[in-house]
């Protein structure tokens, strides 16, 4: 069966795309957006997608919604969710690397811990954390004021902010934590943030999304190959991934409420510092999560 996925081709995804291209049934369609489901006698049997103005029809036994925290697949499927709220949003932007910059690893940097920095090789991916819903207020204060405020909490001096000359260099990333009640309906399964939007806390959302994808492949490859996919197969994926999702989101919610109330590190990191064995457990949870997934071989 041909396998259609829509990817943004960056980093790990580029690697996956190159590996997947070795399989005869794989087709990659970039810049192609899910539009709606198609039905045959009320049975969901694929989707329509838009590539520019071109409408493409793709027939499929299963549509996997892996389209992130604003998932259109989730919305069109009418799946219901619980929202746990998140008190912060993030203004996302790039700064160029310069000679003499330290070798920062990924994490929160700066005097007030609300500046996020990720080394992307030839540039710094930066995030400035703001109170939820305040982006428009920041816009009305003007770019110069924003640059000044970022410099006050960033490990870069204000001169470096001169690179930020227009609002279209800054993207608002809405932070949310939510979870679908049911990750599926007949013919559709949501995974990753589409099933459970994760906050940036702990930098674990990508791990969970990949683990969901591995569990999906492990449970669904055989029924799909045999043409016998049942609702109960889709339910197995949620059953397997529900506990690690709930447990991780619980920790994120706890940590974000600690952070919101104090400028000092929250209670949880303090406990982890006092009890060294917890450091190991915590590190393992951040690195591997509550439940690891091992890909099965099917060929
Ligand atoms: C500000 C911020 C910082 C974060 N930092 C980290 C971090 O450092 N480490 C970490 O592990 N997690 C982090 N997270 C969480 C992490 O981003 C997510 O949990 C993770 O990316 C989820 O992966 P995903 O593949 O489900 O969704 P995404 O990574 O969001 O990928 C969804 C993909 O679907 C595509 N898409 C969207 N709509 C459509 C459509 N209609 N049709 C086709 N394609 C579509 C998008 O272009 C995108 O490529 C952060 C979250 C936020 C908000």
Domain spans of the chain, in order of start: 1-60, 66-84+176-299, 88-173
pLDDT at 255: 77
Higher pLDDT, 184 or 12: 184
pTM (2 d.p.): 0.82
Instruction: For residues 278-284, give the mean pLDDT.
Output: 78
Alpha-carbon gap, residue 195 to 203, rounded angstroms:
17
Best CA proximity match to 258, nearest among 266, 250, 269, 249: 266
pLDDT at 8: 34
Atom of ligand 1 minimally distant from the CA of 73: 41
| Confidence category of residue 5, pLDDT binned at 50, 70, 90 | very low
Instruction: For residues 237-245, give the mean pLDDT.
Output: 98
73 lines ligand 1 (CB under 6 A): no
Atom of ligand 1 minimally distant from the CA of 193: 26
pLDDT at 177: 94
Burial profile 86-118: b = 16 or more Cβ within 10 angstroms, e = fewer: bebbbbebbbeeeeeeeeeeeebbbeeebbbbe
pLDDT tens figures, 62-85: 999 999 999 999 999 999 999 997
Alpha carbon nearest to ligand 1 atom 45, residue: 67
7 touches 13 (CB < 8 A): yes
Atom of ligand 1 minimally distant from the CA of 34: 42
Phi, psi angle pair for 69, to nearest 5°: -70, -15
pLDDT tens figures, 117-168: 888 888 998 999 898 899 999 999 999 999 999 998 888 888 999 999 999 9
289 lines ligand 1 (CB under 6 A): no
pLDDT tens figures, 178-225: 999 999 999 999 999 999 999 887 779 999 999 999 999 999 999 999
Q: Which of 5, 68, 180, 241 to mutate to test the pocket of ligand 1 (most atoms within 8 A of CB)?
A: 68
HSE of 50, CA atoms in CB hemisphere, 13 A: 6
Residue in the block written with tokens 């990659």: 28
pLDDT tens figures, 244-261: 999 999 988 887 765 544
Atom of ligand 1 minimally distant from the CA of 175: 53
Phi, psi angle pair for 165, to nearest 5°: -110, -15
Interval between CA 67 and ligand 1 midpoint (Å): 7
Alpha carbon nearest to ligand 1 atom 49, residue: 8
pLDDT at 263: 45
Architecture label for domain 66-84+176-299: 3-Layer(bba) Sandwich (3.50)
Alpha-carbon gap, residue 113 to 154, rounded angstroms:
9
């Amino acid at each position: 069966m041909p396998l259609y996925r829509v990817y943004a081709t960056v980093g790990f995804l580029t690697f996956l795309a190159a590996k997947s291209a070795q399989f005869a049934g794989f087709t990659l369609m970039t810049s192609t957006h899910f539009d709606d489901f198609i039905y045959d006698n009320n049975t969901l049997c694929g989707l329509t997608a838009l590539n520019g103005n071109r409408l493409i029809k793709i027939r499929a036994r299963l549509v996997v919604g892996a389209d992130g925290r604003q998932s259109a697949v989730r919305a069109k499927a009418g799946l219901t969710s619980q929202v746990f709220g998140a008190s912060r949003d993030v203004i996302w932007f790039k700064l160029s690397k310069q000679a003499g910059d330290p070798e920062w690893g990924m994490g929160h940097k700066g005097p007030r811990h609300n500046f996020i920095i990720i080394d992307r090789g030839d540039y710094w991916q930066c995030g400035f954390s703001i109170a939820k819903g305040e982006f428009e207020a920041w816009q009305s204060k003007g770019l110069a004021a924003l640059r000044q405020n970022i410099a006050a909490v960033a490990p870069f001096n204000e001169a470096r902010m001169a690179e930020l000359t227009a609002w279209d260099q800054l993207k608002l990333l809405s932070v949310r934590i939510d979870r679908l009640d049911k990750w599926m309906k007949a013919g559709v399964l949501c995974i990753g943030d589409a099933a459970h939007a994760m906050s940036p806390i702990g930098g674990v959302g990508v791990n969970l999304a990949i683990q969901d994808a591995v569990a999906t492949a492990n449970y669904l490859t055989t029924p799909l190959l045999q043409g016998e996919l049942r609702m109960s197969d889709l339910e197995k994926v949620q059953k397997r991934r529900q506990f690690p999702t709930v447990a991780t989101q619980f920790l994120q919610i706890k940590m974000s409420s600690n952070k919101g109330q104090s400028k000092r590190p929250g209670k949880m990191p303090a406990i982890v510092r006092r009890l060294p064995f917890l450091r190991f457990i915590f590190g393992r949870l951040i690195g591997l999560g509550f439940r690891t997934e091992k890909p099965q071989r099917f060929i």
